Amino acid sequence: MMVDNLNRFFELNRLIVFFVYGLVFFVMGLAVALQSRHHSRLELARALGWLAAFGFAHGLHEWGEIFIPIQAQYVDPVIIELLHVFRVILLALSFAFLFQFGVELLRERWPRLMLLPLLFMVGWTLVFVVPGIAWVTNFESWHQQASAWARYLLGFTGGVVAAAGLYYQAQRHIKPLNLQPIYRTLQIAGACLLLYALLGGLIVPAGDFFPANWLNETAVQNAIGIPLPVFRSLVGLVLAIAIIRAMDVFDVEVDQMIEQMQVEQSLSAERDRIGRDLHDGAVQQLYSAGLMVSAARRKLPDDPAVAEQRLDRAMRTIDEAIAGLRATMGELRETPAVTTLPEELRKQAVDPRFTALMAVTLQLDLPDTAVFTPIQTHHISAILNEALSNVARHAHARRVEVSACQNGSQFQLTVHDDGRGFNPDEQTTGYGLRNMRDRARLLGGQLHIQSQPHEGATITLNLPMEET
């Protein structure tokens, strides 16, 4: 009795059901199209256009269930048949767009999938559309089979691939950024696409072939009393909300880009200030000292052997100090050298400035496929240099252990010493720790400092990396 009442209720409100169904997907397409960011570095942004096209096309297809019967009262039957043909093609196209959305998200993992949606669409067109238009005799039967196979071939496959693509992007690019709300939202969107693949791709209008004669929209409605478009609308609504919420990642990305520019500007200003201070202060003082020593040497007696040797040694020392300061000033302005990260880390680990004061051990666990850009190499090397310099100056440590490893999409650099330690919360002055944190933010990573007085210190850099 309940099932019969539900059937009658939804039959009376059939037009409203299809209007809402079409509206949900059309609004999703519109929202995605308006909020997509083509300048984003995320693969998700470049693929969203296909999802918007799916929403538009699928919404128009469902509205055809309302408007084509209205037009049938005034338009020639031949034109109505053409409208039905166009509606079936629009259904297949919408699923092809969804399919393409999925393969775009999986492009970096499986680039060979790129032509698959086009091949499926061309195959469906050659089998159903071309023969159907040319010599179909039973239009109703053709319409039912063409729609069913569009759902089987393109709808189900496209929904599954799109769900897999969203899951891959969430794991690959969103999770390493520690954006848990957006990560969970993308997982919800992927689950909705998978559910829609089942509801929209496997459950088709009733037909005279398997499995359409067993699992179809009519059988489902007779069993539960609720037409399938109602469930598809609910899934589409959750999908639309999840996708729109997930696009907050673009705002986060913009914020990070602005922060990165600000940090770069701050570091650049700091480098320029240090360079000016070195030039106006230390270099000029050393240069003046050199002139004074040179003048003093000229006034010495003819054979002051010991004094002259000492003055010569002082002159060489001052000249070397001036050369070293000028080199440092140049390094503050030049771009990072193009070297590999392992080379830079090994160079730091055997630097006499550090090894003369403490034992430095280096453990590298980086795969051959690990790729670091020159900018990443420069900043990671600078962080290690600053960490070792701090240990040498302040920690009074005997041993320092440096390790670098990559685990999936995460790179980790750890510097541990057995020195006297410190309280990180009390370190509010000085440029060292601040510059290390700034460099970590520039890389999109995080710097963690663990230390207690008399218990040594551990500095850990966690950095999201590209998988190859």
Each residue of 419-443: pLDDT tens digit? 888 887 765 545 677 778 888 887 8
User: What pLDDT score was predicted for residue 261?
Assistant: 57
Could you tell me if 347 and 330 lie in one domain? Answer: no
pLDDT at 335 over 80: no
Query: Which of these three, 334, 353, 378, is where a domain ends?
Result: 334
Residues present in the chain in total: 468
Picking from 27, 21, 19, the residue whose alpha carbon sits closest to that of residue 244 is 27
The domain that holds 11 is classified in CATH as: 1.20.1070
Could you tell me if 232 and 346 lie in one domain? Answer: no
User: Residue type at 291?
Assistant: L
Could you tell me if 38 and 140 lie in one domain? Answer: yes
Could you tell me if 428 and 293 lie in one domain? Answer: no
pLDDT at 47 over 80: yes
Q: Name the pLDDT band for 304 (thresholds 50, 70, 90).
A: low
Q: Name the pLDDT band for 172 (thresholds 50, 70, 90).
A: confident
HEC profile for 134-181? HHCCCHHHHHHHHHHHHHHHHHHHHHHHHHHHHHHHHHHHHHHHCCHH
Q: Does 253 map to a domain?
A: no
User: What pLDDT score was predicted for residue 427?
Assistant: 57
Distance in angstroms (rounded) separating the CA atoms of residues 37 and 76: 44
Could you tell me if 191 and 271 lie in one domain? Answer: no
Q: Name the pLDDT band for 330 (thresholds 50, 70, 90).
A: low
Q: Does 401 map to a domain?
A: yes
Distance in angstroms (rounded) separating the CA atoms of residues 455 and 390: 15
pLDDT at 320 over 90: no
Question: If you average pLDDT over residues 26-43, what whole number do you get?
Answer: 76
Could you tell me if 57 and 73 lie in one domain? Answer: yes
* CA distance readout (Å), 164 to 56, 71, 232: 22, 40, 19
Question: If you average pLDDT over residues 374-390, what whole number do you get?
Answer: 86
User: What pLDDT score was predicted for residue 404?
Assistant: 93
* CA distance readout (Å), 431 to 364, 382, 407: 28, 13, 30
How many domains is the chain partitioned into structurally?
Answer: 3
Cα maximum dimension of the chain? 125
Q: Does 153 map to a domain?
A: yes
Residue 84: domain span: 2-246
Per DSSP, what are the bridge partners of residue 364?
404
Distance in angstroms (rounded) separating the CA atoms of residues 347 and 382: 12
Could you tell me if 164 and 276 lie in one domain? Answer: no
Please state which of the ranges 141-145, 333-337, 402-406, 415-419 shows the lowest mean pLDDT: 333-337
Q: Does 252 map to a domain?
A: no
Q: Name the pLDDT band for 459 (thresholds 50, 70, 90).
A: very high
DSSP helix, strand, coil percent of the chain (3-state; round to 5): 70, 10, 20
**Percentage of the chain modeled with pLDDT above 90:** 25
User: What pLDDT score was predicted for residue 55?
Assistant: 94
The domain that holds 372 is classified in CATH as: 3.30.565.10
User: What pLDDT score was predicted for residue 50?
Assistant: 92
Could you tell me if 116 and 182 lie in one domain? Answer: yes
User: What pLDDT score was predicted for residue 468?
Assistant: 46
Could you tell me if 356 and 463 lie in one domain? Answer: yes
Note the pLDDT tens digit of each residue in 224-253. 888 888 899 999 999 989 988 887 766 665
Q: Does 110 map to a domain?
A: yes
Query: Which of these three, 334, 355, 383, is where a domain ends?
Result: 334
Q: Does 255 map to a domain?
A: no
HEC profile for 75-137? CCHHHHHHHHHHHHHHHHHHHHHHHHHHHHHCCCCCHHHHHHHHHHHHHHHHHHHHHHHHHCC
Per DSSP, what are the bridge partners of residue 459?
415, 449
Note the pLDDT tens digit of each residue in 197-207. 999 999 988 88
Q: Does 454 map to a domain?
A: yes
pLDDT at 292 over 70: no
Question: If you average pLDDT over residues 338-347, what whole number do you get?
Answer: 83
Could you tell me if 121 and 73 lie in one domain? Answer: yes
Q: Does 256 map to a domain?
A: no
End-to-end CA distance of the chain: 59
1 versus 293: which is more confidently predicted? Answer: 293
Query: Which of these three, 186, 215, 246, is where a domain ends?
Result: 246
Could you tell me if 427 and 278 lie in one domain? Answer: no
Q: Calculate the average pLDDT of the chain.
A: 80
**Percentage of the chain modeled with pLDDT above 70:** 74
Could you tell me if 168 and 304 lie in one domain? Answer: no
* 3-state secondary structure (DSSP) of residue 444: coil
User: What pLDDT score was predicted for residue 440?
Assistant: 86
Q: Name the pLDDT band for 460 (thresholds 50, 70, 90).
A: very high
Question: If you average pLDDT over residues 170-175, what whole number do you get?
Answer: 82
pTM of the entire predicted model? 0.60
